Amino acid sequence: MVTRSAPRLEFVAHLAIDVGPAIDLGDLPDGHRRIVPILGGSVTGPRLCGRVLPAGADHQYLRSERVTELDARYALETDDGARVAVENVGLRVGSAADVAALLRDEPVDPDRIYFRTQPRLSSAHLEYSWLADTLFVATGERTPSTVELDVFAVG
């Protein structure tokens, strides 16, 4: 059996996403749900630069007191005017105390939180057609007013 080499990661961009106060929907029949509005932000990196548009939200499912499933949908606009659709699913996992602090919008040491996502990006602009043909992963950090993501292309 041949062992394949591990995929390499190429840094694409840093997203600083401004978020508003969470809308807590409470304990629904399928679990505790929250919606976090996306207010804007910036995109900086070697392969993608621009801004996060003030539209979209992160729909969160609190699976347990330690695990939050994330499902964010929003849009970017590149410096040259291309619009990019983002669908970003992932997990944020920490101790019950740390997750509770995050839910209260309190700062938590990012080294104590496992925050990983799989963004899907696509654009109608030909210069950015590579986005739809590339698998991405991201590491994240939640602060009281932002979500910071470092996005990598999987090679």
For 122-140, what is each residue's pLDDT tens digit? 999 999 999 999 999 999 9
**Interval 12-35: pLDDT, tens:** 999 999 999 999 999 998 889 999
Phi, psi of 45 (to 5 degrees): 175, 175
Determine contact, residues 78/124, Cβ cutoff 8 Å.
no
Global pTM reads: 0.94
Domains and CATH numbers, the chain: 9-154 (2.40.160.20)
d(CA 94, CA 100): 9
